[in-house]
Chain A
C-alpha cells in the first residue's frame, strides 16, 4: 500500500508570493492533517480535514488555508508569503478523525524556503 505522498518535495518562493502544497493520503484514509515543522517551534498543528470538512484548526493566520477533495486528497495554500513561513510542511493521514483512535501516518513533507 502506498504511503502518504506530498508534492512537491522542495519549493523556493519569494516574499509576497503564494504557494499550494498537495497531499495524497494512504488509500482508504479519509482524514488529513497538516503540520508545520521548524527548528524553533517544533511541530505546529495547522488544520485537519475529514470528508471534505475542516474539523479543527490551529493558531495560524488566515493566510494559511486548506481544502480536501472528494477523493480525500488535500491541498494547503499559503498566501502573501513571509520569511517566517520557511519550514517543512508535513501532511498526515489517518483512517478516522482525531477524535477517534487512529494513528497518524506522515508523508515526507514539502520543504518550503521563502527568500
Chain B
C-alpha cells in the first residue's frame, strides 16, 4: 500500500477534459479516494469508489477503477480555471491511508 504513484503535472485548456491517473499497490484496498488541494488549504475530499465498482460518476467527475491493473483515474469534464489545484489519490490499506505525491493540474484560459 505504500507505493501510490501519480504523474506530477498535467496542463489542459479550459473547457477540455482532464484525466488524472494513479496506480496503487495494495490489492486488498477496499476504498480509493480522490482529494483536491488548493493553495494554502488542506485536502478536500472529492469522491471515492468502493473496490468492487468499476466506475462512479458525480456531476463533472468520473472515477474509473481497473482493479486488475491497480489503476485509478479521475476525469474532470469541462475543466474550469477553478479546477487548478493539486489532486491526490489515496488508498485505504488495512489500518491506514496511503497517499500519492499529487498531480498539479494547470488549467489555461
**Binary per-residue interface labels of chain B (65-109) against chain A in the complex, 1 for a CB within 8 Å, 0 otherwise:** 000000000000000000000001010101111011110000000
Q: Which of A42, A43, A55, A108 contacts B41 (CB 8 A)?
A: A108
Q: Are A56 and B99 in contact (CB under 8 A)?
A: no
Interface band, chain B: 20 to 34
**Taking the complex as formed, is B43 at the interface, i.e. its CB lies under 8 A from any CB of chain A?**
yes
**Taking the complex as formed, is A103 at the interface, i.e. its CB lies under 8 A from any CB of chain B?**
yes
**Taking the complex as formed, is A90 at the interface, i.e. its CB lies under 8 A from any CB of chain B?**
yes
CA of A56 to CA of B44, assembled, Å = 23
**Binary per-residue interface labels of chain B (8-42) against chain A in the complex, 1 for a CB within 8 Å, 0 otherwise:** 00000000000000000000001101010000111
Interface band, chain A: 20 to 34
Q: Are A103 and B96 in contact (CB under 8 A)?
A: no
Which secondary structure dominates chain A's binding surface?
Answer: strand
**Binary per-residue interface labels of chain A (67-105) against chain B in the complex, 1 for a CB within 8 Å, 0 otherwise:** 000000000000000000000001010000111010111
Given known pairs A42-B101, A43-B88, A43-B99, the reply for A101 and B43 (CB within 8 Å) is no
CA of A104 to CA of B37, assembled, Å = 14
Q: Are B48 and A99 in contact (CB under 8 A)?
A: no
Given known pairs A42-B101, A42-B102, A43-B88, the reply for A105 and B96 (CB within 8 Å) is no
B88 contacts across to A, CB distance below 8 A: 43
Report which residue of B33, B94, B97, B102 has the largest number of chain A beta carbons within 10 angstroms of its beta carbon: B97
Q: Which of A56, A107, A108 contacts B40 (CB 8 A)?
A: A108
Nearest A residue (CB) for B102: A42
Q: Which 6 A-B pairs have the closest CB atoms?
A: A106-B42, A106-B43, A43-B99, A42-B101, A99-B95, A108-B42
Can you name 15 extra interface pairs (CB under 8 A) apart from A104-B90, A106-B42? A4-B42, A33-B97, A42-B100, A42-B101, A97-B95, A98-B92, A98-B96, A101-B31, A101-B92, A103-B31, A104-B33, A104-B45, A106-B43, A106-B44, A107-B42
